[in-house]
Amino acid sequence: MFFIFSKLLVFIITPLVWIITLLFFSLFSKKEKSKTRCVRWALILSIFFSNAFIFDECMRLWEIPATPYKDLKTYDAGIVLGGFITYDQKIDRLQFNRSTDRLLQAIELYKRGIIKKIIFTGGSGSINHPDEKEGIYVKRYLLTIGIPEQDFFIENESRNTHENATLTKNLIKTKHITGDLLLITSASHMRRSLACFNKAGITTTHYSTDRYAGPRKFELDHLLIPTISAMEHWSTLLKEITGIITYKIMGYA
């Protein structure tokens, strides 16, 4: 039930949904004052959420900063959180999204000798396709690029961050994995991830990837020109803020 509720919540908190809802009410409202108010707020929200500079500054406050290589030691394993692969069954091809940086960074850390093993955690986050478990495809990919099977562990039943943490704890116990652990996920997702893993009793060091807020920019287009991508990225930030509040209420974080 919580899994389905979380999917519905992601839809509700999307800024574009708010804007469309306001415009919808403006069309059908019989009061001229209400029409004007709805259109005004739709315009204000459109300008605010499409401004890339405003988004960057808000995300900068939320994201857990990235860690330079010089500040890392050697870790017994790096825990990589899923959420970046879809599978096209028709052409038998994996498709990677922005968050694939989590896996790419983990592979580089492994190649550098900073992490000795890779632990991947991620099943299916889809209501319609529960059998398309991401861990299966990650295993295939790691083997394809030459990572020895004895150097990685796969957990492919989790559907959200809470289950990532609890099922990874079971995997660590089953596989007798000990020592220092590095938690590898998106900078925007790290705050909720750390809370879940701490709640599950897993002590980790954070390693943030695919940051949205990089070096601060004062370029004219970045400051003033509206972008669809900024509005899309706001959905990610609002999802994480809402997510950690919900998780704390549920006792997951």
DSSP code for 153 = E
Taken in order 105, 97, 2, 126, is the CA torsion positive or negative? negative
Confidence of residue 128 (pLDDT cuts 50, 70, 90): confident
Quote the mean pLDDT of the chain: 93
* pLDDT digits 0-9 by tens, 216-225: 999 999 999 9
* pLDDT digits 0-9 by tens, 129-160: 778 899 999 999 999 999 999 999 999 999 99
CATH topology of domain 69-209: Rossmann fold (3.40.50)
In the chain, the N- to C-terminal Cα span, in Å, equals 18
Sequence-ordered strand ranges (E) for 54-113: 77-81, 85-88, 93-96
**Cβ–Cβ < 8 Å for 49, 14:** no
What pLDDT score was predicted for residue 92? 87
Taken in order 127, 200, 180, 149, is the CA torsion positive or negative? negative
* Measured distance CA(236)–CA(174) in Å, rounded: 34
Neighbours of 111 (CB within 10 A): 10
pTM of the model: 0.90
When pLDDT is averaged across residues 84-92 and rounded to a whole number, the result is: 88
Instruction: Enumerate the domain spans of the chain.
Output: 2-63+225-250, 69-209
The count of residues in the chain is: 253
What pLDDT score was predicted for residue 6? 65
User: Which residue's structure tokens are 């605010």?
Assistant: 48
Cα within 13 Å of Cα(172), Cβ side: 23
